[in-house]
């Protein structure tokens, strides 16, 4: 079974703090993704990566950056957290570009 893990289930940060969200997958998948999910808006893609050190902007990259130094690990960084970044953050991975994505359990981030 594919396993995607995320570093925290719940996180509370203050406005202006730097926030790191980590995601690890154990199935040697090529592609990794970061989404946020908000009520009524569904899942929106922030960034994705199809290889180590490669990254592509998704639909809402503003205010975020990512890092993929190792194939199994994909980090999402909020340089200066703001209240409008309070959300559920979901990491996903897929074998390649044509396969289904498998999700981690999510991190519920609250920015005060």
Nearest approach, Cβ of 34 to another protein (angstroms)? 12
Residue whose pair of structure tokens reads 């993704």 in the numeric block: 33
7 binds another protein (CB under 8 A): no
Which span (18-26, 67-75, 77-85, 101-109) binds another protein, by CB under 8 A?
101-109
Pull the structure tokens for residue 69. 């130094």
The site for another protein, by CB under 8 A, has a size of 23
Which string of x and - marks every residue 34-73 that binds another protein (by CB under 8 A)?
------xxxx-x--x-x-----x-x---------------
The angle at the Cα of 65, spanning 43 to 95, to the nearest 5 degrees, equals: 60
3-state helix, strand, coil in the chain (%, to 5): 5, 55, 45
- Map the footprint of another protein across residues 71-100, applying CB under 8 A: 90, 94, 96-98, 100
Q: Are 99 and 10 in contact (CB under 8 A)?
A: no
Question: For residues 18 and 12, what is the distance between their CA atoms, to the nearest angstrom?
Answer: 12
Q: Residues in the site for another protein, rule: CB under 8 A?
A: 31, 33, 40-43, 45, 48, 50, 56, 58, 90, 94, 96-98, 100-106
């Amino acid at each position: 079974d594919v396993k995607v893990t995320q570093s925290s289930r719940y996180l509370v940060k203050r406005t202006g703090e730097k926030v790191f969200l980590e995601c690890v997958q154990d199935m040697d998948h090529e592609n990794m993704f970061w989404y946020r999910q908000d009520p009524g808006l569904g899942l929106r893609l922030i960034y994705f990566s199809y290889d180590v050190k490669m990254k592509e902007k998704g639909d809402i990259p503003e205010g975020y950056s990512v890092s993929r130094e190792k194939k199994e690990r994909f980090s999402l960084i909020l340089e200066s957290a703001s209240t409008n970044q309070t959300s559920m953050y979901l990491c996903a991975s897929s074998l390649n570009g044509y396969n289904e994505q498998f999700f981690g359990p999510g991190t519920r981030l609250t920015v005060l």
